């Protein structure tokens, strides 16, 4: 029951033969270019799955928990820039997607979440597996639809994809009652849709851009502060060219990582709570801070009043609501950042710009870089340290892997010791900070790029939260690896306990608290991840001796299936540098 897509020019609405709503949904997804969905069936969505079995264009991957499917779609979207699609049944299936939707909302990721809903006649009657999912997700979606009129389904799907991927991306929910899925009608697939509340892509005026360039000419200590907006806008080449033409140092957020090469002379790499010393100090001391597609998150600014206190701040963003939200900007430029950078490059090349002499500024920055080199120095230990494991992974893979992470210490060490030179290589839950994100996100990225090496650098706490997805990896033959930094603790909370709570352990020990496992007590390690992985049919090995680390990582990287490397590390390491909350960049802790 599939229609052949008819190529018309100019595009016209297309009428399909009579078929079930579920088949119409699948036909719509095919028309949006969707080639994979991460979908867990249930009573209110099994019609959709029946239709998916009839599609030759869409691969359906069955996660082992709806949240896993949501994060797979998220990882897919992060790695490709395309909308990721996840699907779940009504009630508990849908509520299990809530965290994924909130996560995509915080990190501005195009996620289309399709949920089954009970028959319309049962809505509002506390029917089996009924939840008001439309209502529940209102504060965490870019937009949402509850399909009450079956015939509107093709228009809604087209709108959903357009909304999710246009402007500042974000998650869109489509809730489809079962009667809509079962109804048979002749669909009309629209060639385009009107969305009156969607704005045109804003473009900065030349006058605004020339004003910025003039400020840059006169500045003595400028810095670029680049965020995830550069990645969403696919503006990496433009950023690089603009940075080189102006000679300004570039400090990135974690969301923007990879847009500017880590090893470039102008690179300050990433800044914020655990970012580079030079990056934090350069932003703090800047006299002109040009912010491109970033939102002054509290993990970047620390205490807002102490953030770049003497800087004239220029804020470029596609979302006006970010202007002056967290930090006052002296000049705001409402624009598509790719357009603004492209146009500024043209203006510079047309002679509207004299490159400022920043040699004194770079002399200062270079001194900082020498005093506090990056990657940050850690003290050797007789045990494998988590930093060393990531550094070794970086060396073995020559920096050419897609990396995802869970949340916690390892999430900060990963971008410190794995240096990213390309966008869409670092996939992490940065705004919401969701533990359990790493492994399913890695699977989603691997599905998008089957021939690329994808490694989830994870902690034992985070990994356990979606451990069931090893079954998905095995059955679907998704080869993403897991570098498990197993310290038997919730390391980041432990670090804060050590620094601010006299080391009192508030339920941060993951094994038996009376017999804590670690590199010096291997017997007590709990759970045994190698055995767990083997139960799922996944290759796994434990490594605890330094001399075995490199060979173990090489074996993992070169394995031809999914692989878990259980690296036993001490829990005593702290992530440094560290700007504690309420402190300024100048008070950064380095030991």
Question: Where on the chain is the footprint of another protein (CB under 8 A)?
Answer: 134-135, 138-139, 142-144, 146, 148, 163, 195-198, 319-321, 323-325
Work out how close the CB of 325 gets to another protein at its nearest, in angstroms, rounded to a whole number. 6
Task: Please state the φ and ψ torsions of residue 234, each to the nearest 5 degrees.
Answer: 55, 45
Query: Is 492 one of the annotated active-site residues of the chain?
Result: yes
Work out how close the CB of 172 gets to another protein at its nearest, in angstroms, rounded to a whole number. 9
Work out how close the CB of 434 gets to another protein at its nearest, in angstroms, rounded to a whole number. 20
Strand partners, 316: 292, 333
Work out how close the CB of 258 gets to another protein at its nearest, in angstroms, rounded to a whole number. 27
Query: Is 129 one of the annotated active-site residues of the chain?
Result: yes
String of DSSP letters for 448-471? H-TTS-EEEEEEHHHHHHTTTHHH
Residue among 437, 475, 473, 471 nearest 456 (CA): 437
Residue among 20, 82, 142, 178 flagged as catalytic? 178
Q: Which is nearer to another protein, 139 or 503 (CB)?
A: 139
Query: Is 71 one of the annotated active-site residues of the chain?
Result: no
Q: Which is nearer to another protein, 6 or 195 (CB)?
A: 195
Work out how close the CB of 152 gets to another protein at its nearest, in angstroms, rounded to a whole number. 11
Here the contacts of 257-260 (C-beta below 8 Å, separation 24 or greater) are 257/415, 257/420, 257/423, 257/425, 257/426, 258/231, 258/420, 258/421, 258/422, 258/423, 258/424, 258/425, 258/426, 259/226, 259/230, 259/231, 259/235, 259/423, 260/226, 260/236
Q: Which is nearer to another protein, 196 or 503 (CB)?
A: 196
Distances (CA, A) of 494 to 511, 572, 576: 14, 8, 14
Q: Which is nearer to another protein, 227 or 518 (CB)?
A: 227
Residue among 12, 15, 121, 128 flagged as catalytic? 128
Q: How far is residue 349's CA from residue 251's CA, in Å, rounded to a whole number?
A: 24
Residue among 72, 465, 470, 492 flagged as catalytic? 492
Q: Which is nearer to another protein, 228 or 518 (CB)?
A: 228
Q: Which is nearer to another protein, 318 or 480 (CB)?
A: 318
Work out how close the CB of 196 gets to another protein at its nearest, in angstroms, rounded to a whole number. 5
Residue among 66, 130, 162, 238 flagged as catalytic? 66
Q: How far is CA 210 from the centre of its chain?
A: 33
Q: Residues near 28 by Cβ (< 8 Å), separated by ≥ 6?
A: 153, 154, 157, 158, 189
Q: How far is residue 385's CA from residue 413's CA, in Å, rounded to a whole number?
A: 11
C-alpha atoms less than 13 angstroms from C-alpha of 468 in its C-beta half-sphere: 9
Residues forming the active site? 66, 128-129, 178, 492
């Amino acid at each position: 029951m599939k229609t052949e897509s008819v190529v018309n020019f100019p595009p016209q609405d297309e009428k399909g033969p009579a078929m079930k709503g579920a088949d119409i949904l699948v036909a719509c997804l095919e028309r949006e270019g969707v080639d994979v969905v991460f979908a867990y069936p249930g009573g209110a969505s099994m019609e959709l799955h029946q239709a998916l079995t009839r599609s030759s264009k869409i691969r359906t991957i069955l996660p082992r928990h709806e949240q896993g499917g949501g994060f797979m779609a998220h990882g897919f979207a992060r790695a490709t820039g395309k909308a990721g699609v996840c699907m779940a049944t009504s009630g508990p299936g849908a509520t299990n997607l809530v965290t994924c939707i909130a996560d995509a909302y915080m990190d501005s990721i195009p996620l289309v979440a399709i949920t089954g809903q009970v028959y319309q006649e049962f809505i509002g009657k506390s029917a089996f597996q009924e939840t008001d999912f439309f209502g529940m997700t209102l504060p965490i979606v870019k937009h949402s639809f509850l399909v009450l009129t079956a015939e509107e389904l093709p228009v809604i799907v087209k709108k959903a994809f357009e909304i999710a991927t246009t402007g500042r991306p974000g998650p869109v929910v489509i809730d489809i009652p079962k009667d809509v899925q079962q109804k048979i009608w002749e669909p009309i697939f629209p060639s385009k849709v009107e969305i009156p509340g969607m704005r045109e892509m804003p473009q900065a005026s030349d006058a605004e851009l020339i004003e910025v360039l003039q400020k840059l000419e006169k500045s003595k200590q400028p810095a670029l502060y680049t965020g995830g907006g550069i990645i969403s806008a696919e503006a990496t080449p433009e950023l690089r060219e603009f940075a080189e033409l102006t000679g300004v140092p570039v400090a990135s957020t974690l969301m923007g990582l990879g847009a500017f090469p880590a090893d470039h002379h102008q690179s300050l790499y990433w800044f914020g709570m655990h970012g580079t010393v030079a990056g934090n100090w350069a932003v703090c001391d800047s006299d002109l801070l040009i912010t491109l597609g970033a939102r002054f998150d509290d993990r970047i600014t620390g205490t807002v009043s102490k953030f770049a206190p003497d800087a004239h701040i220029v804020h470029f963003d596609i979302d006006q609501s970010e202007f002056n939200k967290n930090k006052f900007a002296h000049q705001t430029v409402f624009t598509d950042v790719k357009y603004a950078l492209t146009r500024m490059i043209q203006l510079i090349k047309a002679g509207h710009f004299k490159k400022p002499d920043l040699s004194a500024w770079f002399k200062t920055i270079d001194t900082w870089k020498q005093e506090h080199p990056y990657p940050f120095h850690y003290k050797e230990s007789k045990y494998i340290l988590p930093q060393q494991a990531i550094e070794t992974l970086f060396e073995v893979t020559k920096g050419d892997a897609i990396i995802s992470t869970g949340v916690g210490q390892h999430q900060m060490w990963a971008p410190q010791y794995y240096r990213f030179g390309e966008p869409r290589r670092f996939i992490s839950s940065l705004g919401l900070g969701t533990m359990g994100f790493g492994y399913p996100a890695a699977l989603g990225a691997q599905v998008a790029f089957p021939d690329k090496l994808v490694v989830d650098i994870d902690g034992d706490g985070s990994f356990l939260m979606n451990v069931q997805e090893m079954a998905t990896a095995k059955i679907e033959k998704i080869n993403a690896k897991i570098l498990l930094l197993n310290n038997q603790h919730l390391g980041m909370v432990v670090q804060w306990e050590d620094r601010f709570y006299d080391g009192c352990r508030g339920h941060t020990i993951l094994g038996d608290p009376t017999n804590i496992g670690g590199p010096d007590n291997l017997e007590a390690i709990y759970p045994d991840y190698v055995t767990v992985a083997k139960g799922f049919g996944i290759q796994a090995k434990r490594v605890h001796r330094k001399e075995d680390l490199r060979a173990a990582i090489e074996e993992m990287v070169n394995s031809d299936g999914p692989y878990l490397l259980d690296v036993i590390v001490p829990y005593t390491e702290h992530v440094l540098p560290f700007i504690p909350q309420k402190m300024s960049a100048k008070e950064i802790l380095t030991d």
